[in-house]
Amino acid sequence: METLGTYALVDFIPVEPEVYFRLFARHNLSVWPSQLLAVPLGLLAIWFLRQGQTRIPGILLGLSWIWVGVTFHLMLHAELNWAAKYAGWIFVVEELLLLTLALPARPRTAPRDRDWIRMWVGAGLGLLGLLLYPLLPLVTQLSWRETQVFGTAPDPTALVTLGCLLMTDRFTWPLATIPLLWCVLSGATWIAIGWMPGLLLPAGGVIFIGLALWPRARSL
Amino acid sequence: MARMNRRSLIKLFAAAAATATTWRLGGAATPDRQPVRKPIPSSNEALTVIGMGTWQSFNVGSDRPLRDARTEVLRAFFAGGGQLVDSSPMYGSSQDVLGDALDQLGHPEQCFSADKVWTRDGDQTRAQTEISAAKWRTRRFDLLQVHNLLSWEAHLETLADMKASGEVRYIGVTTSHGRRHRELEQVMRSQALDFVQLTYNPVDREVETRLLPLARERGIAVIANRPFRGGSLVDTLQRSGGPLPAWAAEVGCHNWPQLVLKWIVSHPAVTCAIPATTRVDHMQENMGAAIGDLPDAKLRARMLAAIQAA
């Protein structure tokens, strides 16, 4: 441990930036056209949460995490980075945790008692992950092929999940721990690689923490 | 005479341009331009002073176009007279990509294969070596090193047995980033090592005081890793270093990377340096540093001053 301080962030990244971006391109090609299905399903999850329902969002988010964990981390990323296999299994654990959202919920909270700030900011983070994240190649030097889409790439999946968790008060922290951990790991990777748009995810994580810690409105 | 079509002409011009570039960068080894070699102290076998690292640069997974591009980098390395190629089980898919490239190049005899053992489990030395050899698609490594001194006691014991039975030709230990120098010194004093790998470049010079003199005293070959500090040293020199001093050409250096490499490998204790690259032109530049005489102590001091002033 005494030697940890002698490492730079980049020393933990075993690939060149070009290879990391091409990883997304190769993955996009291998799972095409699941991206076309994933985004509408993400929108559906947000719509159900807006209605106060958690069962279908829990299933949809869970499926997206296991899909990313297996097809991205375990099948492709792990050949470049030995740590990715652990990330893959952590994504599978998050899938199992998210399925608990699908368990029978307590009666819906009355609309007047709902926390509208969390609801709207959560939906905003979700829409950011679903609609803006895939557009990031437009503002960078990346190819469209290297885009990151919810349900197939880890960062937008984590961002949408955090947004969805803000929209519900069920199991917030246990379910948010792994997405927040991914915010830290992925943010560090993007800093080391020098791709600043990647910091959108950790920024979303900070917003999530701020709002999740904010005292909830009391029932009248 | 066969008619020359447009495609043949383009190929001809491309080949001519590539040859001209290679010559300009000084990377091609020809009968009258052989790279400088230094002896491995424990055997006197000569080794080209510029080797090749594979950390990050060869970790491209199953990406076929990138694998082919790395094969060309390795081809340029061998064309420049390079020998020592260094990898590790820690480097993701690098060993496998290297094996693929060596297969495509027909496993050149000049290749000096250097790999590492990287596991906390001291009983896994042979098992991990077998996996690594399968990835390299080779039967036997020339050099096996204990990566970052991880469980070095147990691994070195097995490696010594393997050397005695002819399963490997040379053994050693590695460290990088200037870490654990005190422990490395103890290992160098107490163990029978052929090689030691450490970080040495014009910025990281701590090894000059104790470790490099000790390597000479103990007859241990030295591999210098991170010669460009992960690329940052060359980036700095090329961005703010200005033009190369006019006298650099006298020592056969045509660019900053060559000046840095030649300075490193001209230390009497250093056997070779192992820069890593993903580009053929950079590999040709690197190999150019092995051509021509090595500078003496006076000229080394001048080179260091120029690098530090840049």
pLDDT tens-place string over residues B40-90: 999 999 999 999 999 999 999 999 999 999 999 999 999 999 999 999 999
Tell me the average pLDDT across A106-119.
63
Total beta-carbon pairs less than 8 A apart between chain A and chain B = 50
pLDDT reported for residue B185:
97
In angstroms, rounded to a whole number, what is the distance separating the alpha carbons of residues A165 and A206? 14
Q: Does A13 touch chain B (CB under 8 A)?
A: yes
The answer to whether the CB atoms of B66 and A76 lie below 8 A apart is no
User: CA A200, CA B167: separation in Å to the nearest integer?
Assistant: 51
- What is the pLDDT confidence band of residue B4, given thresholds at 50, 70 and 90? very low
- Contact across the interface for A15 and B180, Cβ inside 8 Å: no
The verdict on A18 touching B (C-beta cutoff 8 Å) is: yes
Taking the CA of residue A137 and the nearest CA in chain B, the distance in Å comes to 21
- pLDDT score, position A32: 96
CA–CA dist B248, B83 (Å, integer): 25
Contacts of A19 (CB under 8 A, 6+ apart): A80, B59, B60, B61, B63, B66
d(CA A192, CA A199): 11
Q: Do B61 and A14 touch (CB under 8 A)?
A: no
Residue A2 has pLDDT above 60, yes or no: no
pLDDT at B63: 96
Report yes or no: B90 at the A interface, CB cutoff 8 Å.
Answer: yes
Examine the pLDDT at A104 and tell me if it is beyond 80. no
Q: Give the pLDDT score at B177.
A: 87
Mean pLDDT of chain B: 91
Burial of A51 from C-beta contacts in 10 A (0-12 / 13-18 / 19+) = exposed
In tens, the pLDDT along A131-160 reads: 999 999 888 888 999 999 999 999 999 999
CB contact under 8 A, A6 and B178: yes
Q: Is the pLDDT of residue B283 over 50?
A: yes
**B window 206-245, beta carbon within 8 A of A:** 230
User: Tokens representing B252?
Assistant: 């056969």
Spell out which residues of chain B touch residue A25, defining contact as CB-CB under 8 Å: none
Nearest-Cα distance to chain B for A65, in Å, is: 23
Q: Is A15 on the interface with B (CB under 8 A)?
A: yes
Residue B10 pLDDT greater than 90, yes or no = no
Query: Which residue of chain B is at minimal alpha-carbon distance from A8?
Result: B177
Nearest CB to A19: which of B55, B60, B178? B60
- How do the domains of chain B map onto residue ranges? 44-309
Q: What is the pLDDT of residues A37-71, one digit of tens each?
A: 999 999 999 999 998 888 999 999 999 999 999 99
Encode B261-287: b = buried (16+ Cβ within 10 Å), e = exposed. Answer: bbbbbbbebbbbbbbbbbebbbbbbbb
Which residue in chain B is spatially nearest to A84 when comparing CA positions? B92
Q: Report the C-alpha gap between A27 and A25 in whole angstroms.
A: 5
Residue ranges per structural domain of chain A: 15-103+113-213
Scanning every residue of chain B, which has its alpha carbon at the shortest distance from the alpha carbon of A10? Answer: B230
Report the C-alpha gap between A20 and A27 in whole angstroms: 11
Per-residue pLDDT at B66? 97
**What would be the CATH architecture of the domain defined by B44-309?**
Alpha-Beta Barrel (3.20)
Mean pLDDT computed over B198-220: 97
Q: Minimal Cα–Cα distance from B12 to chain A, Å?
A: 30
Tell me how far CA of residue B197 lies from CA of A182, B110, B146, B173, in angstroms: 35, 21, 10, 6
Please tell me the distance in Å from B109's CA to the nearest CA on chain A.
28
CA distance B89 to B121: 14
Cα–Cα distance measured from residue A162 to residue A177, given in angstroms and rounded to the nearest whole number: 10
pLDDT at residue number B160: 98
pLDDT on residue B233 = 93
CA-nearest residue to A12 within chain B is B56
Q: Is A10 on the interface with B (CB under 8 A)?
A: yes
- Residue numbers of A between 24 and 43 with CB closer than 8 Å to B: 26
pLDDT tens digits along B153-188: 999 999 999 999 999 999 999 999 888 999 999 999
Average pLDDT, chain A: 89
Confidence class of residue A116 from pLDDT cuts 50, 70 and 90?
A: confident
Q: Point out the least confidently predicted range of B207-216, B233-242, B285-294.
A: B233-242
Question: What pLDDT, on the 0 to 100 scale, is given for residue A139?
Answer: 85
Output the pLDDT for position A199: 96
Gap between the Cα atoms of A207 and B135, Å rounded: 45
> Residue A113: pLDDT above 70?
no
User: Which residue in this structure is represented by tokens 């070779």?
Assistant: B272
Query: With an 8 Å Cβ cutoff, is B179 touching chain A?
Result: yes
* Neighbouring-strand partners of residue B146: B117, B173
C-alpha B143/C-alpha A44 separation (Å) is 58
Does A82 sit within 8 Å of B93, measured CB to CB? no
pLDDT tens digit string along B90-144?
999 999 999 999 999 999 999 999 999 999 999 999 999 999 999 999 999 999 9
